[in-house]
Amino acid sequence: MSSEDKEAQEDELLALASIYDEDEFKRADSAQGGETRICLELPQNFKIFVSGSPTECLQNRGFEYTICFLPPLVLNFELPPDYPSVSPPVFTLSSKWLSPTQLIALCKHLDNLWEENRGCVVLFAWMQFLKEETLAYLNITSPYELKLCHQENRQSRTSLFPLNAELDDCGAAGAATAQEEILDERAVQDVESLSSLIGEILDFDQAQQKKCFNSKMFLCSICFSEKLGSECMYFMECRHIYCKSCLKDYFEIQIRDGQVHCLSCPEPKCSSVATPGQVKELVGEELFARYDRLLLQSSLDLMADVVYCPRPCCQTPVMQEPGCTMGICSSCNYAFCTVCKMTYHGVSPCKVTAEKLMDLRNEYQEADEATKIFLEQRYGKRVIQKALEEGESRKWLEKNSKACPCCGTPIEKLDGCNKMTCTGCRQYFCWLCMGSLSRVNPYRHFNDTSSPCFNRLFQAMNVDGDFWDAENED
């Protein structure tokens, strides 16, 4: 090795190490060479379309994914003693998502770049070409279709051939087929199957997006502090971002109150919900166990074929057979009626339910004297009296209360300000306009000049037996 070549190699490797970070460039320990991992700059909303043989990947056929990053091209190189004066770098180029035909075309173009710059260092020019021009050179556009094919060659029996990027004799997009290509051992396709490739692409894309997110600064809409993305979290559906500290406090309060379905985005009128993984990341093990238990119970409550053992000390979920009203608890062996939750009574009618009481009240009030006597004999005077009382109670509630805008629970306002809290779902709402309020800052509704209830927090408040109206106060 001449002193000029040795100095040129050292200068080039030092320059690459200063330009690229450790994830992109790594110098070899035992040889004069290294490895570069080159991530391509994809257009916005870049899509990959998956197709394959039925036996290989039936479930992935016809699936389309929008991604921001593809796994990197890996360029491994070793510098000969007479580089750059005489010989080019010895290299291999590998990829998970490019076909052997495409990789061979890139290798040939790297050779051409060396010929154009013979006698000069060329690694930086290679890396810039691969990073900035690969997509255009191979005519890769969105949607980029991946299709699994099979061929016999010395590298692999399974090869990936994108349908929209075949190559001609010059290495540009064209019509050359896989059977006609000359194998180049420098081109390495690092893929086992289409299904595994899709998983690797999506995992890499998610990891890179998280890396980019963690390195940026964001303004938390709760504490109004700017923090690094690594200290923040966003909701998957709406992408609203808050710092982890604020969300942690918010989640813990809701879980302690048993409101596991209220772990939604704090942004007003946003319905995005935190994933269990996000909840687990922020709260402690004990609270997450409570969240997990309550979430399972609420999910079971929504299943039509699942009922609970009515014994207070048991409450075991019981599967209900279609068309059968008998449930048998697998824990305590209690046999009960799935309709009225009492001891199973066979074909005998259930005791009157709340809905039946309302129907019975209406029927009794509209009946003639003979029918009233018949209903009293059939259901009993106590049941009839209860039905009438339930009706009067409902009338009173309709006249003296308002329904929670979130769950419909009747709420009566006796005194206090107009910021209300539902006793059923714990939702904050305004008594004046019945609009839902922010869980984080419910009083903002009354301080916002554009709000219809601006400065009306204490309007019509009962003060010492008198009603005080803020609008009429001098």
Nearest to 432 by CA among 394, 391, 460, 396: 460
Q: Is the peptide bond before 80 cis (omega within 30 degrees of 0)?
A: no
The strand order across the sheet containing 46-51 reads 63-67, 46-51, 144-150, 158-160
Q: Which stretches does DSSP call E strand in 205-279?
A: 217-219, 226-228, 232-234, 241-243
In angstroms, how far is CA 336 from the centroid of its own chain? 41
CA distance 440 to 267: 9
Cα dihedral sign for 361, 365, 367, 369? positive
Residue 417 annotated among the catalytic residues of the structure: yes
Helix axes 3-19, 123-137, angle to 10 degrees: 50
CA distance 196 to 269: 39
Check: CB of residue 229 under 8 Å from CB of residue 214.
yes
Kindly state the greatest CA–CA separation across the chain.
120
Q: Which stretches does DSSP call E strand in 220-324?
A: 226-228, 232-234, 241-243, 306-308, 317-319
Q: Which of 39, 238, 417, 425 is catalytic?
A: 417
Give the DSSP H/E element, type plus range, for residue 159.
Answer: strand 158-160
Give the helix ranges, DSSP H, for 121-180.
123-137
CA distance 428 to 445: 11
Q: Is the peptide bond before 88 cis (omega within 30 degrees of 0)?
A: no
Pairing of strands 144-150, 46-51: parallel
Check: CB of residue 47 under 8 Å from CB of residue 144.
yes
Check: CB of residue 219 under 8 Å from CB of residue 229.
no
DSSP per-residue string spanning 323-384: T--EEE-TTT--EEETTT-SB--TTSPPPPPHHHHHHHHHHHHHS-HHHHHHHHHHH-HHHH
Would you please indicate which residues are annotated as catalytic (active-site) residues? 417
